[in-house]
Structure 1
Amino acid sequence: MKKHVFAAVLLAAPLLASAQEATIRKNLPARIPGLAAIDEVAKTPMDGLYEVRIDNEIAYTDAEGNYLIHGTLVDTRAMKNLTEERINKLNAVKFSELELKNAFTMVRGNGKRKLAVFEDPNCGYCKRFEKDLAKVDNVTVHLFLIPILGEDSMTKSRQIWCSADKAKTWVDWMQRDVTPKGNPVCNTEALTANLEFARKYRITGTPTVIFADGTRIPGAINTQQIEQQLSR
């Protein structure tokens, strides 16, 4: 008899979860006009609390959609920021999905460690990041140019991409303020492809760093932070 009861409980659990998800999907849009389409509803480790994902934004609600919470969910026992972990997972980019043909590569030392970075040549934070990145050894860097800060960014990106030594021209400009020169005459389809990739993966700021494990970090992280991620 007990076995039958246990089996019935196991069968009922998914149905209950499905019903609660349906309730949340129904109530929240009805009560919040203009709410964007809900992409996913998932139960959290906290009893009665559900994650609501809209695009890559996370909010929380109860099983009836009576309350909506914007904030951070922290597991105090494990001292883990569950919201941050979830967003990092949503923002991750598989290294295998990067179109490396649209980047130029710089190898330092044995080059065993790998990272990719999306940068605009007129980005001040990128210049700061490049000076910190220059202190990291035994790394392969795949540099994707995404000119998003105006027409001059596109001009400089073309000059860098069309130069005989892309890496040297890039380093000279970003670290030594040696302005790229010349009339860029070459195939610059890679720059267009990079901008399309950035739109697809919502890379809206520079620098954006992607590590071999898929971890994606926006902003000018310092040398120590780069090393920490590479050593994971």
Structure 2
Amino acid sequence: MFSFPGLARALPLALSLSLFGAGAHADEASVRKGMEAFVGAPAVESVARTPYAGLYEVVLKSGELVYTDEKVSFIVDGRVIDAQTRRDMTQLRLNQLSAIDFSTLPLDQAIKHVKGNGKRVIATFEDPNCGYCKRLGKELAQMKDVTVYTFLYPILSPDSTTKSRDIWCAKDKAKAWSDWIVDAKVPATADCDTGVIDRNVALGQKLKINGTPTIFLSNGSRIGGYVPAAELEKAIGAIAAK
């Protein structure tokens, strides 16, 4: 993970101004080379020129997004706000970068919980010892007509792995998960093939999931962290409206 704690944290201004200078277009490969020389490692995932004052978007392999100029003479670690539309262009881009193809998720590795007609579908990656996952569980319990695929993703402690395995091996996985995450009923010890837990961890790492809960909507967009039911309903509704 690469971070830039000493750099500017925001850019809430009209970047159409020539604040950083325009100059000749740089080759994206040279920007990559300059950034990796600065970081001291082959850390760059992609480089692309933006329409804002000659800035280049640099996506790092850690998932971070920063900006620089054609000579890599400065690095901006913060937000680009379009002054005309007032839209946070950095957040929009991060949403695009973190989205997935929902259809590629191996849903057989998740606990399936159907409520009502189950027409609306979401997937979550959760650690059984995650406090915000427990809050999310109570919110999801209030929702209707939704199918939730829960990928057990134990990343917090060895006990998280133990609980995940016991829940996965339960006769009724959905009930065992709900009993624990909502009602704090410790899952009974059980034995079965728990290789799926390791596969979930590998999948989460591939998807760059660094915290729980992480929610994926049916269009592949990602929501990182806890959200109340009303906010989740709004997000799901926005997809249906499109």
TM-score range, shorter chain: 0.7 to 0.9
1:209 aligns with 2:224: no
Counterpart in 1 of 2:205?
Answer: 199
Task: Compute the displacement of 1:47 (Å).
Answer: 2.8
Counterpart in 2 of 1:37?
Answer: 43
What pairs up with 1:47-62 in 2 under 5 angstroms?
47-55=53-61, 56-62=63-69
The 2-side partners of 1:33 and 1:166 are apart by: 45
Flag structure 1 segments of 5+ consecutive residues without an equivalent: 1-15
Task: Compute the displacement of 1:128 (Å).
Answer: 0.5
What pairs up with 1:1-232 in 2 under 5 angstroms?
17=25, 19-30=26-37, 32=38, 34-55=40-61, 56-182=63-189, 184-232=190-238
TM-score after normalising by structure 2: 0.83
Contact kept in structure 2, 1:125 and 1:219, CA below 8 Å: yes
Displacement over 4 Å in runs of 4+ = none
CA RMSD, aligned part only? 1.6
Contact kept in structure 1, 2:35 and 2:44, CA below 8 Å: no
Larger Rg: 1
Q: Which amino acid aligns with 2:218?
A: A
Counterpart in 2 of 1:11?
Answer: none
% identical aligned pairs: 43
Q: SS at the partner of 2:210? A: coil
Task: Compute the displacement of 1:45 (Å).
Answer: 1.8
Q: SS at the partner of 2:199? A: helix
Task: Compute the displacement of 1:74 (Å).
Answer: 1.0
Q: Which amino acid aligns with 1:105?
A: K
Contact kept in structure 2, 1:39 and 1:53, CA below 8 Å: yes
Flag structure 2 segments of 5+ consecutive residues without an equivalent: 1-23
Task: Compute the displacement of 1:46 (Å).
Answer: 0.9
Q: Which amino acid aligns with 2:30?
A: T
